[in-house]
Structure 1
């Protein structure tokens, strides 16, 4: 009965959330794990990101992950949140593809999309995308890409300092 009540609550929450954020593809789901609410859990193999919302519940978003040679696993934290971010390719990106610009301001061509959340170490981020067809694939240089509506939804729910756990 307790599980049925949780599932019913999840469906009701999802309905309310969907009405408030048209275009967002996140869904409330049962989530088993020992994580505090506000924790972001990335399941790389499933190409999904979860924002833990309570005991046994989370919002689930579909994402793109790093190419196999660019994937990483472990823990980090959200160190900075940026609206309409400027993209600056890393030196290794520019070495692999010299035609990349030194930087790219906000706009439809920017690969970071509408929002970016920098992670505590390195150059990795959770961000939007200008390539929504990449969602569900291993396509990035190690970042986690989200649909722009989804990343804007997550951005409003997450605080600087939130823990990020990246699993296989």
Structure 2
């Protein structure tokens, strides 16, 4: 639970920066909020792999809901992490384990339609896991990745503008 003095500071800063924050969201999908039975401070990301859904908590009992693709059953992970970095037009670099499984992978793929990370990447913790866009939108709703969470490019761009570095991320079954 947030301390009252910290809450007051957050409210004050939100009011001061409402103009720029709203300007950043112009053009973002007009995504409705839904009632949910998920706990967390506003800004917390909760991923339910069994549902193939990502929830961005907006208020107690309220969240924005996004469809996602999750890791293949052998690649899934569960627990807590945090948003450690946000990248526009990211470059994809295969991990050593990906390269071991498929040595013919390119060294990297820069921004563009062939990039597996799509148009935005939100890095989690210290590892190689991310929430990112995709060049394979038909994979959304499936268990298809190497442990990352894929979103449609329009959805990840919307989430990218709403989530902050340092936000808590919880991955549940």
**Which bracket does the TM-score occupy, shorter chain normalised?**
0.7 to 0.9
SS at match of 2:33: strand
Match of 1:162 in 2: 167
Match of 2:73 in 1: 68
C-alpha distance in structure 2 between counterparts of 1:72 and 1:27, whole Å: 28
How many pairs align? Answer: 148
1:118 to 99, 108, 123: 123
Match of 1:89 in 2: 94
- Native 8 Å contact 1:25 1:150 kept in 2: no
Shift of 1:121: 2.7
Residue 38, structure 1, aligned to residue 43, structure 2: yes
TM-score between both structures, scaled by the size of structure 1: 0.85
Gaps of 5+ in 2: 1-25
C-alpha distance in structure 2 between counterparts of 1:138 and 1:30, whole Å: 26
Residue 29, structure 1, aligned to residue 18, structure 2: no
Gaps of 5+ in 1: 1-19
Shift of 1:122: 1.4
Shift of 1:98: 1.2
Shift of 1:21: 4.6
Shift of 1:28: 1.8
C-alpha distance in structure 1 between counterparts of 2:99 and 2:166, whole Å: 30
1:93-137 CA-to-partner distances (Å, cap 9, x unmatched) read 011111110111100000000000000131100000000000000
Residue 105, structure 1, aligned to residue 122, structure 2: no
1:63-119 CA-to-partner distances (Å, cap 9, x unmatched) read 000000000000000000000000000011011111110111100000000000000
1:56 to 55, 58, 61: 61
Match of 1:79 in 2: 84
**Which consecutive segments of 4 or more residues in structure 1 shift more than 6 A?**
none
1:134 to 136, 139, 144: 139
